[in-house]
Amino acid sequence: MRLSGRSLADRAKKAHNILSNCTLCPRNCKVDRLAGRKGYCKATAVLEVSSYNAHHGEEPPLSGTRGSGTIFLTHCTMRCVYCQNYPISQLGHGNDKSADELAGMMLKLQSQGCHNINFVTPTHYVPQILEALVIASDQGLTIPIVYNTSGYESLDTLKLLDGVVDIYLPDMRYADKAHAKKFSDAYDYPEINRAAIKEMHRQVGDLVLDNEGIAVKGLLIRHLVLPENISGTDRILEFIAKEISKNTYISLMSQYFPAFRAHDFAPLDRKITRKEYEKATAKMTELGLASGWTQTD
C-alpha cells in the first residue's frame, strides 16, 4: 500500500460520499446506503464481516508458510447459482463491524505473521475498507493488501484503489453474456470484467514475488473451469495472452462442484471431467501462458 496519511484519508472520504448515491459496482443502484437503504448487493453502509483468519488454502505466493490474512465480507454484487460461499454472499451470514474493529482484525492478522491482508468480496465495502486502512496504517499495518474479487468491478471504484491495493486477485468467470446472465445475473460481465482486468494490470502490473516466493505486488487471475465450457475458457485465456500479458499468473481451477442452486441448472449439476480440464490446460500451454498453477489429482 503506497498511499498513507492525508492522501489515504482523502481517498476514504471520497469513497464514503459515494454511499449516499451508490455506484460502487456496475449495478449503479444509486440508493442511499447511508440512510439504511439496500441496493442489489443487500448491504447498507454498515460493514458486515463473516470471519477472519490465517488462510492456508490460497495460491502458494499468497498463503506462503504463514497464511493469507483473509477477511470474508458479507453479501455480494453477483448472484452465482453455484456459489460455494453462498451462506456469506447470498444468505447474508455475518456480523456488523466498525472501521476500528476491521482495522483491529488487520493488525491482529499481521501480528500473527500473515503475509498479507486478503479482502474477499470487497467491492460493495470499498469505503469502509479505506476508512479502516487509514486507522490500521497509522497503527503500523505494512503487509500487502489483496483485493479478492469476482472481477465485476466499476472502473471508477478501482481508480479509488490505485496506490492502495498491492495485489489484485480477480476472477474471470465468463466470456459469454448469455451464460453470465443465466448463471450469475450479470449479462454485462464479460465486457465489464475485461475492462476491470486491464485497469488492475495498469495499476500493479504482472505479479512480483520476493526471494521467498511470496507475492508483494501485481495481478493474479483466477479462472474456474465449468462444465461444457460454460466459462468460455479458451476465449478468456486468449484475452489474457493477447491483451494483458503472457507473463500473467493464472490460477486455473478444477475444483468446481455443484453448490447452492446449481443442481437446478444443468450442466452445472455435475463436476467437470478430466477431459474438460485437460483441454483447458492444453489451451494455456498453446498460448504460452506458463506462469501460475494448474490442479491435478
Predicted pLDDT at 297: 42
Percent of the chain's residues with pLDDT above 70: 98
158, 197 Cβ separation under 8 angstroms: no
157, 182 Cβ separation under 8 angstroms: no
Predicted pLDDT at 5: 77
C-alpha cell at 279: 483441454
Predicted pLDDT at 130: 97
> Residue 218 region, left (φ>0) first, then alpha (ψ -120 to 50), else beta?
left
Question: What's the mean pLDDT when you consider all of the chain?
Answer: 96
Predicted pLDDT at 1: 66
* Cα Rg, the chain, nearest whole Å: 18
**Could you give the CA distance from residue 146 to residue 220 in angstroms, rounded to a whole number?**
10
Name 144's Cβ contacts closer than 8 Å, sequence gap at least 6.
1, 115, 116, 117, 166, 167, 215, 216, 217
Predicted pLDDT at 259: 95
For 222-232, the pLDDT digits (tens) are: 999 999 999 99
Q: Which of 4-8, 196-200, 285-289 has the lowest mean pLDDT?
A: 4-8
Q: What is the mean pLDDT of residues 65-82?
A: 98
Q: What is the mean pLDDT of residues 74-99?
A: 95
For 5-40, the pLDDT digits (tens) are: 789 999 999 999 999 999 999 999 999 999 999 999
Predicted pLDDT at 3: 67
pTM of model > 0.95: yes
Q: What is the mean pLDDT of residues 81-108?
A: 96
Which DSSP helix (H) or strand (E) runs through 130?
helix 126-138
Predicted pLDDT at 159: 97
Q: How far apart are the first and last CA of the chain?
A: 37
